[in-house]
C-alpha cells in the first residue's frame, strides 16, 4: 500500500498529520505554521541590506514553558545558578559531528559546496549526478548509515576517557536527525528512517555519560543560496540547480508532498553580498536585515526556535549548542544576519524552565559559541586555543580530527588528541574533539585505534585532567616561553610538533595536588628541570613534599627542589606514550 505524502499546505492539516503531542507537565508546544507568502525575487545583488543597528529587536509570538526564566538576558542572568560542576568534572568529551553530509566523502560543508565548482562538486557528479537533476535532497533519500550503532560507539568513546558528548541534531544542511515535529525533512521520514538523536540519547543515558545537542540551522537560509544557482559554463550552463524546485514540481516524484523550501529555504540572492558570500569558502553575507522578507524572517526564526524546543521537551539533553559567529543567533550581524529578534532568549528561557520542572534544578547550560561573559551561557573556541589561562567564563575547546565530516586520507593521531586535551585543560577549559564517522556509521580502523590509545593515556593520567583547574601559569618552555600547539584540524602537525623535555603544562587536580605534564616522553634516566617550581620563584608557597610519576610502577624517582627549578630524574624505564605527568604534593 502506497501512503500519500504530506505537505505543509496549512497548519491545521499538518498538525493533525504529525499528531502534535503534549509535552511533560501539560505544556504543549504550538503547532507549526505554514511558510508565509514570499515576494517574487528581484535581480541578484539589487537590494541593500537593512541597517541592523537601528532595527528594533523583534519579539517573537512564541510562548515558552512557564517558570521564573523570562525571555530576556536580564532574567536569564538573574535566575541562572551558574555553570554546573559536572562540566569541570567531565572535562573531556567527544563531538559526534555526523550526518548525511558524510555521504559526499568531501569533508565539511559538502551540502553547500556540491553546488559550487570544486572538489565536492566533482565528487557529487561522480557519485550521484548533476545537481540540477540529483541534488542534496536525493543524497538525503539515499543516505543509509546501516552500520551506525550508537551504543557501541558510546562505549568506545567512554573507553577513550570521554565523559560527555556533543551530538549533532541538525547541521547547516537543515536536515533534522530526530523525529522532528517542525521539519519533515528528517531522518525518520527519509534516509535511514531512524530517530538517530533518540538512539544517541538512549545510549548516552545508559552509559552514564552527559550529552548535549548541537543546532547549526540558524544560518541555513543564507548558507543554502548556492542551491539556487546554476553552472556558468559547460553542457548544463544556465540549467537551475534543484534549490529552485517548488512543491508542485514534486508531483509524481519520490519527494511529492515535501516542500523544497523547507530544506533549501527561499532565494535571497537579491540582497547585496549574498551571492558572493554563498560562493566564498566561508564568509557570511553583510550584516543587516532582509527587509523584503520580514514575515518570512519571523517565521524562519520561530521555526528555528521550535525545533530546538522540540528536542528539549522530548530528549532532555544536558546542554544545548548553537553555532555561529555573532553574539547570539539572529543578532542581525555576522552569521546572525537577516533578522534581529529574541529567538535565542526564548529558547534558553524555555530550556531552563523546562529543566527546573523536570529535574527540580537547573544543572544544564547553553552554548553560544562566541558570546561574551553571560551567566547562563558557555562559549567555545573552534580549532584554536586562547594564548593564556581563561577563567572569566566556562568554555570548551572544540577541535576536529582531520575534518568535521569524513573525507578520505585523514590522519588519526592519538598524540594530537592528547596534546590538545592537555593544552585546553591547562588553560582552564574543557575540550570536545570530533572524530569523523564513515558514511555507513562506522569508524575507520585507524580511528578506533587512536581512540583506544587516548583511553590508555587517560587511564594513567586522568587525575590531572578530570575535575582540574588551571594553576597560576599554564606552562613553560625553552627560554621562558610557552610553545603552543598549532591550531587547525588535528593530525600530523600536532603529533609531530617539536616539544621537548623543557615543555610542561600545569593543572591543579581536584585533590589539590599540582600536576606537571611533560609534553613528550623523556628518555630513561633523563634529568628534567621544571623552572616554574624553583624555590626562589616561590609560586608554590610551600616546600615540595613529594613528586611521583603517574603510571610509574615501582621504579625509583629522584627529585630535588633547587633555587631555580624542581629537578626530577626519570626512572630507568619509561614505557609511556605521548606525554608523562608528574604529581607534586606540598608540605
Torsion of CA 234, 240, 243, 246, to 10 degrees: -150
Does the pLDDT of residue 2 top 90, yes or no? no
Domain C-terminal end among 351, 382, 413: 382
* % of the chain surpassing 70 pLDDT: 96
CA distances from 154 to 54, 97, 103, 164, 441 (A): 47, 13, 22, 10, 13
For the cut 50, the answer to whether the pLDDT of residue 315 exceeds it is: yes
At 550, which CATH number? Answer: 2.60.40.1180
> Is 568 contained in some domain?
yes
pLDDT tens across 480-508, in order? Answer: 899 999 999 999 999 999 999 999 999 99
Which grid cell is 551?
603510571
Kindly indicate the confidence band of residue 12, based on its pLDDT and cuts at 50, 70 and 90: very low
Residue 537 within a domain = yes
At 13 the pLDDT is: 37
Rounded Cα–Cα distance for residues 99 and 388 (Å): 34
CB-count burial class (<10 Å; 0-12, 13-18, 19+) for 189: middle
pLDDT in the model for residue 501: 98
Q: What is the mean pLDDT of residues 31-50?
A: 98
Residues 473 and 364 in one domain: no
Contact criterion met (CB below 8 Å) for 338 and 297: yes
Tens digits of residue pLDDT in 428-454: 999 999 999 999 999 999 999 999 999
Q: Please state, as a whole number, how many other Cβ atoms lie within 10 Å of the Cβ of residue 562.
A: 12
Q: Which of 352, 382, 412 is the last residue of a domain?
A: 382
Helix (H, G, I), strand (E, B) or coil at 518: strand
pLDDT given for residue 27 in this prediction: 79
The C-alpha cell that represents 285 in the structure block: 553575507
Q: How many domains does the chain have?
A: 2
How far the first Cα of the chain sits from its last, in Å, is 78
Last residue of one domain, picked from the residues 348, 367, 382: 382
Average predicted confidence (pLDDT) for the chain: 95
Distance in angstroms (rounded) separating the CA atoms of residues 309 and 63:
11
Task: Grade residue 556 by pLDDT with cuts at 50, 70 and 90.
Answer: confident
Across 464-476, average pLDDT: 98
Q: Does the structure show a pLDDT above 60 at 17?
A: no
The per-residue pLDDT for 4 is: 36
pLDDT tens-digit series, residues 263-284:
999 999 999 999 999 989 989 9
Contact, 569 vs 559, CB < 8 A? yes
Residue 251 lies inside a defined structural domain of this protein: yes
State which H helix or E strand residue 95 sits in.
strand 92-96
Residue 457 resides in a domain: no
Q: What is the pLDDT of residue 26?
A: 55
Q: Residues 30, 159: one domain?
A: yes
In a domain, residue 441? The reply is no
Residue of 439, 405, 440 lying closest to 146 (CA atoms): 440
Q: What is the mean pLDDT of residues 57-71?
A: 97
pLDDT higher than 90, residue 18: no
Query: Are residue 27 and residue 152 in the same domain, yes or no?
Result: yes
> Which of the two residues, 480 and 336, has the higher pLDDT score?
336
| pLDDT at res. 301 | 98
Contact assessment for residue 373 and residue 392, using Cβ atoms and an 8 Å cutoff:
yes
Q: Is residue 304 part of a domain?
A: yes
pLDDT in tens, 123-138: 999 999 999 999 999 9
Residue 526 or residue 8, greater confidence:
526
| Tens digit of each residue's pLDDT (9 = 90 or more) over 394-422 | 999 999 999 999 999 999 999 999 999 99
CATH number at residue 134: 3.20.20.80
Distance CA 547, CA 587 (A): 11
In a domain, residue 252? The reply is: yes
Q: 3-class secondary structure for 220-249? A: HHHHHHHHHCEECCCCCECCECHHHCCCHH
Q: Are residues 375 and 476 in the same domain?
A: no
- Domain holding 494, by residue range, is 468-586
Instruction: Decide if 480 is inside a domain.
Output: yes
Q: Map 441-499 to HEC letters.
A: CCCCHHHHHHHHHHHHHHHHHHHHCCCCECCCCCEECHHHCCCCCCCCCECHHHHCCCC
Amino acid at each position: 500500500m502506497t501512503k500519500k505524502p504530506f505537505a505543509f499546505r496549512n497548519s491545521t492539516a499538518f498538525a493533525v498529520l504529525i499528531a502534535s503531542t503534549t509535552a511533560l507537565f501539560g505544556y504543549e508546544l504550538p503547532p507549526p505554521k505554514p511558510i508565509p507568502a514570499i515576494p517574487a525575487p528581484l535581480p541578484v545583488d539589487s537590494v541593500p541590506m537593512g541597517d541592523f543597528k537601528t532595527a528594533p529587536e523583534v519579539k517573537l509570538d512564541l510562548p515558552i514553558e512557564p517558570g521564573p526564566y523570562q525571555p530576556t538576558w536580564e532574567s536569564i542572568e538573574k535566575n541562572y545558578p551558574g555553570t554546573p560542576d559536572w562540566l569541570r568534572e567531565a572535562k573531556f568529551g567527544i563531538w559526534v559531528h555526523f550526518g548525511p553530509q558524510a555521504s559526499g566523502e568531501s569533508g565539511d560543508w559538502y551540502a553547500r559546496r556540491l553546488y559550487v565548482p570544486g572538489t565536492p562538486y566533482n565528487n557529487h557528479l561522480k557519485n550521484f549526478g548533476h545537481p540540477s537533476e540529483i541534488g542534496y535532497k536525493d543524497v538525503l533519500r539515499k543516505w543509509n548509515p546501516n552500520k551506525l550503532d550508537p551504543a557501541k560507539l558510546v562505549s568506545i568513546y567512554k573507553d577513550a576517557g570521554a565523559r560527555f558528548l556533543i551530538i549533532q541534531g541538525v547541521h547547516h544542511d537543515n536536515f533534522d536527525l530526530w523525529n522532528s515535529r517542525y521539519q519533515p525533512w528528517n531522518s525518520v521520514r527519509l534516509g535511514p528512517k531512524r530517530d538517530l538523536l533518540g538512539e544517541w540519547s538512549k545510549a548516552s543515558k545508559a552509559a552514564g555519560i552527559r550529552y548535549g545537542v548541537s543546532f547549526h540551522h540558524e544560518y541555513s537560509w543564507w548558507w543554502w543560496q548556492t542551491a539556487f544557482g546554476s553552472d556558468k559554463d559547460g553542457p548544463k550552463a544556465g540549467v537551475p540547480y534543484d534549490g529552485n524546485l517548488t512543491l508542485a514540481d514534486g508531483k509524481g516524484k519520490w519527494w511529492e508532498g515535501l516542500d523544497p523550501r523547507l530544506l533549501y529555504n527561499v532565494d535571497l540572492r537579491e540582497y547585496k553580498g549574498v551571492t558572493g558570500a554563498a560562493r566564498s569558502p566561508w564568509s557570511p553575507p553583510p550584516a543587516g536585515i532582509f527587509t523584503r522578507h520580514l514575515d518570512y524572517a519571523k517565521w524562519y526564526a520561530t521555526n528555528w526556535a521550535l525545533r530546538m524546543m522540540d528536542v528539549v521537551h522530548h530528549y532532555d539533553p544536558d546542554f544545548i549548542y548553537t553555532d555561529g559567529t555573532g553574539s547570539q543567533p539572529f543578532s542581525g550581524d555576522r552569521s546572525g544576519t537577516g533578522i534581529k529578534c529574541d529567538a535565542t532568549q526564548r529558547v534558553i528561557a524555555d530550556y531552563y524552565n523546562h529543566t527546573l520542572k523536570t529535574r527540580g534544578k537547573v544543572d544544564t547550560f547553553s552554548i553560544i559559541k562566541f558570546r561574551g561573559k553571560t551567566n547562563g551561557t558557555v562559549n567555545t573556541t573552534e580549532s584554536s586555543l586562547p594564548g593564556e589561562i581563561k577563567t572569566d567564563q566556562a568554555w570548551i575547546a572544540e577541535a576536529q580530527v582531520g575534518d568535521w565530516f569524513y573525507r578520505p586520507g585523514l590522519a588519526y593521531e592519538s598524540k594530537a588528541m592528547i596534546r590538545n586535551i592537555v593544552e585546553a585543560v591547562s588553560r582552564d577549559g574543557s575540550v570536545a574533539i570530533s572524530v569523523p564517522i564513515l558514511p555507513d556509521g562506522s569508524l575507520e580502523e585507524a580511528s578506533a585505534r587512536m581512540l583506544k590509545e587516548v583511553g590508555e593515556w587517560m587511564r594513567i593520567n586522568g587525575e590531572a585532567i578530570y575535575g582540574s583547574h588551571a594553576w597560576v601559569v599554564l606552562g613553560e618552555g625553552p627560554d621562558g616561553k610557552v610553545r603552543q600547539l598549532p591550531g587547525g584540524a588535528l593530525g600530523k602537525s600536532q603529533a609531530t610538533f617539536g616539544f621537548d623535555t623543557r615543555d610542561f603544562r600545569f593543572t591543579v587536580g581536584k585533590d589539590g595536588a599540582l600536576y606537571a605534564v611533560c609534553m613528550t616522553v623523556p628518555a630513561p634516566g633523563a634529568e628534567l628541570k621544571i623552572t616554574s617550581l624553583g624555590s626562589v620563584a616561590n609560586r608554590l608557597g610551600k616546600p615540595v613534599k613529594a613528586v611521583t610519576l603517574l603510571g610509574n610502577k615501582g621504579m625509583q624517582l629522584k627529585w630535588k627542589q633547587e633555587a631555580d627549578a624542581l629537578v626530577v630524574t626519570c626512572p630507568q624505564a619509561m614505557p609511556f606514550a605521548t606525554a608523562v605527568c608528574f604529581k607534586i604534593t606540598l608540605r
